[in-house]
Structure 1
């Protein structure tokens, strides 16, 4: 029987939003590749159960780091917890996120701030925290989960979402330009409709259920595309041919026409205030 590598020899992947959906799929795929795992999300019970399952199934070390990533300084708290275990991050997956389906002023600013902290500030902070050690070691990987919405203009509802996801795409491109020569592989994955709890969390699940199933991908499909792209040093990947076509149209069609079409098509995803 082949010996299992010790935890000090195995690469460590830090996955945010790991308690469900795309984050959980990343954790499962990376464990199957022989990575140890630092699993980050708010739901400690789910993280603990997933960590125990993956440790048992794949012979890796997986541990839960429950954290609220909307809190200022959460990125450093998470990285300090990893360092306290004597570990360093070899793979960072910035996946944690949510959306707010109402109009901008229909929810408290504190909620909008939580959105920005989780999707932008903490994600950027985690990347900023792991890159120096990756550069010193001559290698490392970062995967930022962006969205097809990152190529789209803003419309009513989900006010900050396209901008936040666009920032993650641009950040990924900039980091690749800065650190590719140092051996880092940095990729933004831009999924479209995906079968997760995302819509249930923002209250649009009933509307999303009406969308054609052929437009949806599974989290496993998104993750497989992201990991393959990252393996090959691809900077931006749009999983699914139909999403790739949509991204191309968003880029090349006149923006006025794109915005008009999106305004009409997205109106049903814009929820009234509670």
Structure 2
């Protein structure tokens, strides 16, 4: 019998690579997509050797509007369909809204918001036809916090993913698709290359170690949450506490707290 297939964006490193490892360990075939083909090939070889699954590599840049359709067309050519989708691709855009170009901001929105939503829209009909589907949108604890100076669109995009995931999960249940679940995974600070890529490693290395989580438990909790139909999951006790605090602290105080901490982990130039 053909194994189920999980499509993972941003699979070349960090949380995306960990999703690939955990789904492969569960016996799923995986489709890995990111810009860096060499890293994907290395990961694919590892998974096929260790778990005896099929790992499909599709090198695409989600900043290109044609990428979502091309990724799914490549799978269709191989006779495969998507049973689980992990929208993980993302990055931080250093600097302020004033200092960055609209091209940079537009690409950011395309990769972190538009492309994930398009992939969801494209895979959902097949999931509904087969009566099964799992979608994990990797959002962020930042989606709960007040907006901050620098990395201006990051929190708003992640907040949008949270609300979209809640709505889509509710929609699936309302329409009778009881085994199609959508979850927003909202990690806090997670050990990965994310902060190296956006130039904030120096700032984040000064933060207390207790604020950080490894990718493995973050991903595990995301998979467990989507399987039980939980629309939003904040992994880790510290992160859960911070998410709760963001809801109960008066908004002016919350904004002041974020403003005071922004320069510790935001690169303004």
TM-score (norm 2): 0.97
- The alignment status of 1:125 with 2:103, answered yes or no, reads no
Equivalent-residue separation in structure 2 for 1:234 and 1:269 (angstroms): 30
- The alignment status of 1:55 with 2:51, answered yes or no, reads no
Does the 8 Å contact 1:101/1:269 carry over to 2?
no
Equivalent-residue separation in structure 2 for 1:202 and 1:270 (angstroms): 9
- The alignment status of 1:171 with 2:137, answered yes or no, reads no
Question: Matched residue of 2:213: which SS?
Answer: coil
Equivalent-residue separation in structure 2 for 1:65 and 1:50 (angstroms): 12
Deviations, residues 213-258 of structure 1 (Å, cap 9, x unaligned): 1111011110011011112111100000010010011112111110
Equivalent-residue separation in structure 2 for 1:271 and 1:233 (angstroms): 36
Does the 8 Å contact 1:187/1:230 carry over to 2?
yes
- Counterpart among 222, 225, 228 of residue 229 in structure 1: 225
Once the two structures are TM-superposed, the CA of residue 47 in structure 1 deviates from its matched residue by 0.1
Deviations, residues 131-178 of structure 1 (Å, cap 9, x unaligned): 001011111100000000011121100100001001100110111111
Question: Matched residue of 1:105: which SS?
Answer: coil
- Counterpart among 64, 71, 95 of residue 71 in structure 1: 64
- Counterpart among 100, 110, 113 of residue 107 in structure 1: 100
- Counterpart among 203, 206, 215 of residue 207 in structure 1: 203
Q: Relative to structure 2, which stretch is displaced further, 41-50 or 180-189?
A: 180-189
Q: Relative to structure 2, which stretch is displaced further, 173-182 or 238-247?
A: 173-182
Equivalent-residue separation in structure 1 for 2:124 and 2:248 (angstroms): 34
Does the 8 Å contact 1:157/1:269 carry over to 2?
no
- The alignment status of 1:16 with 2:9, answered yes or no, reads yes
Once the two structures are TM-superposed, the CA of residue 119 in structure 1 deviates from its matched residue by 0.3
Corresponding position of 1:257? 253
Aligned residues: 266
Corresponding position of 1:98? 91
Question: Matched residue of 2:243: which SS?
Answer: helix
Equivalent-residue separation in structure 1 for 2:268 and 2:250 (angstroms): 29
Question: Matched residue of 2:113: which SS?
Answer: helix
Equivalent-residue separation in structure 1 for 2:230 and 2:19 (angstroms): 17
Corresponding position of 1:41? 34
Once the two structures are TM-superposed, the CA of residue 259 in structure 1 deviates from its matched residue by 0.6
Question: Matched residue of 2:92: which SS?
Answer: coil
- The alignment status of 1:216 with 2:212, answered yes or no, reads yes
Question: Matched residue of 1:143: which SS?
Answer: strand
Equivalent-residue separation in structure 2 for 1:269 and 1:106 (angstroms): 18
Equivalent-residue separation in structure 2 for 1:208 and 1:269 (angstroms): 5
Ranges in structure 1 where 5+ consecutive residues have no aligned partner: 1-5
- The alignment status of 1:146 with 2:139, answered yes or no, reads yes
Once the two structures are TM-superposed, the CA of residue 263 in structure 1 deviates from its matched residue by 0.4
